[in-house]
Amino acid sequence: MMFFSTRDSEKKLYSASQVIKQGLADDGGLFVPDSIPSVTLEEIAELADRSYPEKAATILSKFLSDYTYDELLEDASAAYCESSFPDGAAPLKKIKDGTYSLELWRGPTAAFKDMALQIMPRLLSRALVKTGEQNTALILVATSGDTGKAALEGHKDVDKVKIMVFYPVDGVSKVQKLQMVTQMGNNVNVCAIKGNFDDAQTGVKKIFSDSVAKEKLLENGYVLSSANSINWGRLAPQIVYYFHAYCELLKTGEIALGDKINVCVPTGNFGNIFAAYLAKLMGLPIDKMVCASNSNNVLTDFISTGVYDRNRKFHLTMSPSMDILISSNLERLLYFTAGTEETRDCMKKLSESGRYEVSESVKAAIKENFIGYCADEDETAKALRACYNDNGYLADTHTSVALACADKYLADSKDDTKMVVVSTASPYKFAADVYKSITGKDAADGTGALDQLEALSGMEISYPLKDLDKRAVNFSTVVDADKMLDEVYKFM
C-alpha cells in the first residue's frame, strides 16, 4: 500500500513510514492511501474473538504495509495496555434500546485523542528507523489544552523522540494546566508562554520555518516534527474502534453478522468521523454517519447545501474541542468523492475567500453517507440532563452534542437501525459544565467541580484526573512568546 497527496494529480507515491514521518504533503495536501483494503464479514466475525491490540494490528497492517504484523501488534499492545486503559480501550455501553455509547476516553488523558496518540508516536519511532533517519524527532506542540497533554502522554519515553509543549499561561483550564505541569517522562518538556493560544501557535510555526534554527538543531542531532491531527498515523488507528464497536454488538447479540449500524460522531476536525467512513469503505456494515456539530455548525450547512463557508461568527461553547471552523480532514472526504482537481480547486478557494461549493454529484455522494445535525448550548445541556435522568448515563458535553443530534436524526428519520454514539471525553474532563447542565447550579472552581460531580453521580472520577492537585509539579517555566526558541535550545 502506498500513499499520495490529495492535491497531486501526478500521484507521486510515498510509503506509510514516509507519510507518518512527514505528516503533511509538500504541496499542502493530505496523504491518502492509493486503494482501500477490504474486510469480509467472515473476517469481522473472526475479529470479534480477538483482543483490542490484535484488532488494531490486523486493521493497521492493511494500510501500513511496510510495518510487519508483529511490529504493529507490539506497538498496539504497548499503546492499549491495561495500565493506560484499565477499563479496556473502547468499552461499548448500552444507553437505551437501540442506542450505545462507544467510550473512547478511558485512556491516560481522559479524552479520545489518546486512541490515536498512544500508538502514533510508536509508529513514528519505527518510521524514523525505516526511513534511515539518524536524528531524533523533536515534536513541538502549541496547545489550547487537550492535545498538549495527550501528545505528552503518547510520546513520553518513546525512543528517538522528544516532545516540547507550549501553552498560554492564562489560556487553559486549571485542570488542563495541572495535567500538563505534572507530566512525567524523561523526554518531555512543558513551557508556559505569556500570551494567548495564537501567540503560542505563531511561535511554534515561526520555529518550524526558521532555517537557522533548523540548522542548529540538526547539528545537535534533531529534526523537527509535529503531532498534528492530519497525520495519517493519527487517522489510521481511529478506524479500528469502529470495527471493535461492531464486534461488541455482535458478541452481545444486539445485531447479527451483516446487519447495518449507524454512527453519530461529535465532530470538529472531521478526523473521527472520517475514520468511520473509511471503515465503511473497507466493508464494515455502516449505513448513516451522523455528523454532530455544536453552534459552530459549518459542517451541518456544508452537508445539506454543498456550500462550505467559514465566514461566520465563531462561538465559544462548552464543547471547546469542537469549536472549529476549518475542518482539515474534510479535504480527505473531498478527495474520495470529488478527485484531485476539484479538491485542489476547493482548497484554493477556502484559503482565498473562506468559501467553496462542491458540484451536485459530489454533494449527492456525500449525502448518501452523511447527514449533519447541530445542537446549541441549551439543546446540549438538555440532552445531557435527559440522558442522565432517564437512562442513568453520565455523558460529557461533547458526547451530549452527539446525543442531541442522534435524537434529532431519529425524530426526523424514524430509522430503527442501531445507533452507536461516539463518546469522546470523560464527563470529569468538563466537570463544571456537566454539573451545571444537570443541576442548573454553578460548580466550584478548578478541581472542586470534580468532587461535586462525583458526589452527585456516584461515578468514580476518571483515574487520570484523580488527585491531580496532589501530584508533584515538574514544570514551572513561564517565558515571553519571543523566547520560545531559547527554551527549545535549552531542552536540546
Ligand X SMILES: *Cc1c(COP(=O)(O)O)cnc(C)c1O
CA gap 454, 463 in Å, rounded: 12
Total residues in contact with ligand X, by rule CB under 6 A: 16
270 binds ligand X (CB under 6 A): yes
Among 61, 136, 189, 269, contact with ligand X (rule: CB under 6 A): 269
> 188 has which bridge partners?
163
Query: Among residue numbers 14 through 53, which ones bind ligand X (CB under 6 A)?
Result: none
> Do 422 and 266 meet the contact criterion of CB atoms below 8 Å apart?
yes
CA-only gyration radius of the chain, Å = 22
Cβ of residue 215: shortest distance to ligand X, in angstroms?
Answer: 34
Determine the distance from the C-alpha atom of residue 204 to the mean position of all C-alpha atoms in its chain, rounded to a whole number: 21
Taking contact as CB under 6 A, which single stretch among the options 28-36, 106-114, 151-159, 188-196 is the one that binds ligand X?
106-114
Query: Among residue numbers 392 through 411, which ones bind ligand X (CB under 6 A)?
Result: 398
Q: Which of 138, 126, 296, 147 is nearest to 228 (CA)?
A: 147
Taking contact as CB under 6 A, which single stretch among the options 12-20, 105-113, 169-177, 349-357 is the one that binds ligand X?
105-113
322 binds ligand X (CB under 6 A): yes
CA gap 418, 423 in Å, rounded: 16
Among 148, 168, 195, 271, contact with ligand X (rule: CB under 6 A): 271
**Identity of the residue numbered 11:** K
Query: Among residue numbers 113 through 172, which ones bind ligand X (CB under 6 A)?
Result: 113, 146
Q: Which of 374, 391, 375 is nearest to 438 (CA)?
A: 391
> Nearer Cβ to ligand X, position 231 or 267?
267
109 binds ligand X (CB under 6 A): no
Cβ of residue 174: shortest distance to ligand X, in angstroms?
Answer: 18
Cβ of residue 268: shortest distance to ligand X, in angstroms?
Answer: 3
> Nearer Cβ to ligand X, position 200 or 425?
425
> Nearer Cβ to ligand X, position 104 or 181?
104
Helices (H), 23-145: 41-47, 52-63, 69-79, 113-117, 120-130
> 308 has which bridge partners?
356
CA gap 458, 8 in Å, rounded: 54
> Nearer Cβ to ligand X, position 75 or 114?
114
CA gap 103, 399 in Å, rounded: 9
> Nearer Cβ to ligand X, position 262 or 317?
317
**Identity of the residue numbered 203:** G
The answer for 439, left when phi > 0, alpha when psi is -120 to 50, beta otherwise, is alpha
> Do 393 and 71 meet the contact criterion of CB atoms below 8 Å apart?
no
302 binds ligand X (CB under 6 A): no
> Do 289 and 267 meet the contact criterion of CB atoms below 8 Å apart?
no
Among 108, 154, 171, 266, contact with ligand X (rule: CB under 6 A): 266
Cβ of residue 239: shortest distance to ligand X, in angstroms?
Answer: 12
Q: How many CB atoms lie within 10 A of CB 65?
A: 14
> Nearer Cβ to ligand X, position 158 or 422?
422
Q: Which three three-digit cell numbers place residue 234?
A: 493519527
Taking contact as CB under 6 A, which single stretch among the options 59-67, 107-115, 295-303, 475-483 is the one that binds ligand X?
107-115
> Nearer Cβ to ligand X, position 112 or 242?
112
Q: Which three three-digit cell numbers place residue 372?
A: 449533519
CA dihedral angle for residue 468, residue 472, residue 473, residue 475, rounded to 10 degrees = -120
- H or E, element range at 490: helix 484-491
Among 47, 59, 60, 111, contact with ligand X (rule: CB under 6 A): 111
> Nearer Cβ to ligand X, position 222 or 335?
335
Per-position x/- string for 416-455, each x denoting binding to ligand X as judged by CB under 6 A, each - no binding: --------xx------------------------------
> Nearer Cβ to ligand X, position 67 or 373?
373
Among 3, 85, 112, 393, contact with ligand X (rule: CB under 6 A): 112
Residues of this chain that bind ligand X (CB under 6 A)? 111-113, 146, 266-272, 321-322, 398, 424-425
